[in-house]
């Protein structure tokens, strides 16, 4: 079995469904406090933590008092511009309680794919060497598909970030325990798959589609993330974000969620 204990540089992806209340889109303060406490503790224990955080659009929806996530691009971008502020303000405040400094990095596909990629890599290295926790999101206010700038969901973005900062592991925290043999919301006999060593057609088939009402990705985007990470030699795990304490267990090699082991291991 994989030794997760010794992994040092960790990208943790937090989805909107983990950070916001489903019904209102407003911040789930208790959950976020808990997550920040555990991540701070792991940071203090010597792990190099990079956070990829969704929630800009979701929190913007809540803050602007919209009834649901808007469908048109300008409204989504307006919501993201409002929500990103609240998101970073909250991270800064909460990590600040443990004397940890955070930094905001907003990326677009164009930046990652052109020669400026190296600048981003250098910034990550510098921030990590300074003991800062980088907090990454897509730059939703400029990333629109018409310009082919968009990654569109943070599962794939988190895998790209894991590659950019040469991470040892990617952890995707979600509102589901991991990958199931069939959709657990529909099939009571669905079984959690603890380890995936090869992402074949069968795995793609059972990953299906749909995500939550405020977020963007579903299991399919997580499988895509696993492919990007695994191909780059980075192991990935999908686990439930509702109990952040389980992250401690993960680094004590407890079995949790679904582990996607990088090819060639
Ligand atoms: N960048 C989007 C946001 O912060 C999230 C995309 C996603 O849900 O994966 O709201």
- pLDDT at res. 205: 85
| Whether the predicted pLDDT of 27 surpasses 90 | no
**Residue 211 in contact with ligand 1 by CB distance below 6 A:** no
Interval between CA 139 and ligand 1 midpoint (Å):
10
Q: Indicate the domain borders of the chain.
A: 4-260
Tell me how far apart the alpha carbons of residues 151 and 84 are, in angstroms, rounded to a whole number.
17
Q: Locate the DSSP E strands across 108-250.
A: 133-138, 169-174, 195-196, 235-240
Mutate to test the pocket of ligand 1, among 16, 104, 149 (most ligand atoms within 8 A of CB): 16
User: From the CB of residue 21, how many other CB atoms can be counted at a distance below 10 Å?
Assistant: 15
Q: Decide if pLDDT at 213 tops 80.
A: no
Q: Which atom of ligand 1 is nearest to the CA of 152?
A: 6
Per residue in 232-244, pLDDT tens? Answer: 999 999 999 999 9
- Which is more confidently placed, 42 or 16? 42
Is pLDDT of 212 > 90? Answer: no
How open is the CA angle 79-56-22, to the nearest 5 degrees?
95
> Do 10 and 49 contact (CB within 8 A), yes or no?
yes
Ligand 1 binding pocket includes 54 (Cβ within 6 Å):
yes
Is the CB of 48 inside a 6 Å radius of any atom of ligand 1?
A: no
Q: Which of 5-14, 112-121, 210-219 has the lowest mean pLDDT?
A: 210-219
Ligand 1 atom closest to the CA of 80, numbered from 1:
10
CA of 265 to the centre of ligand 1 (A): 31
Of the residues 27, 57, 61, 214, which should be mutated to test ligand 1's pocket, given the most ligand atoms within 8 Å of the CB?
A: 57
30 class by beta-carbon count within 10 Å (0-12 exposed, 13-18 middle, 19+ buried):
exposed
Q: Which atom of ligand 1 is nearest to the CA of 87?
A: 4
What percent of the chain is predicted at pLDDT more than 90? 69
Dihedral of CA 153/122/118/85: which sign?
positive
Give per-residue pLDDT as tens, 164-188. 999 999 999 998 899 999 888 788 8
Atom of ligand 1 nearest to the CA of 155: 9
**What topology is assigned to 4-260 in CATH?**
Carbamate kinase (3.40.1160)
In this prediction the pTM is: 0.93
Confidence bin at 249 (pLDDT 50/70/90): very high
Average pLDDT of the chain is: 90
Instruction: Let me know: does 85 contact 100? Beta carbons within 8 Å.
Output: no
């Amino acid at each position: 079995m994989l030794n997760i204990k010794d992994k040092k540089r960790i990208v943790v992806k937090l989805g909107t469904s983990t950070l916001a209340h489903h019904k209102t889109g407003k911040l789930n303060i208790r959950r976020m406090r808990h997550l920040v406490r555990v991540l701070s503790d792991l940071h203090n224990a010597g792990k190099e933590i990079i956070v990829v955080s969704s929630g800009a659009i979701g929190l913007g929806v809540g803050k602007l008092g919209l009834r649901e996530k808007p469908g048109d691009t300008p409204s989504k971008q307006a919501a993201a511009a409002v929500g990103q502020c609240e998101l970073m303000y909250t991270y800064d405040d909460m990590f600040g309680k443990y004397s940890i400094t955070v930094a905001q990095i907003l990326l677009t596909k164009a930046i990652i794919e052109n020669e400026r990629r190296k600048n981003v890599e250098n910034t990550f290295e510098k921030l990590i060497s300074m003991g800062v926790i980088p907090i990454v999101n897509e730059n939703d206010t400029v990333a629109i598909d018409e310009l082919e700038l968009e990654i569109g969901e943070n599962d794939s973005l988190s895998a790209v970030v894991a590659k950019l900062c040469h991470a040892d592991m990617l952890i995707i925290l979600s509102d589901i325990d991991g990958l199931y043999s069939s959709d657990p919301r529909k099939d009571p006999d669905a079984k959690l798959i603890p380890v995936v060593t090869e992402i074949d057609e069968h795995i793609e088939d059972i990953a299906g589609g749909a995500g939550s009402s405020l977020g963007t990705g579903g299991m399919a985007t997580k499988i895509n993330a696993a492919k990007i990470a695994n191909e780059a030699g980075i192991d990935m795990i999908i686990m439930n974000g509702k109990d952040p304490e389980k992250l401690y267990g993960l680094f004590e090699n407890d079995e949790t969620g679904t582990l996607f082991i990088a090819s060639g291991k």
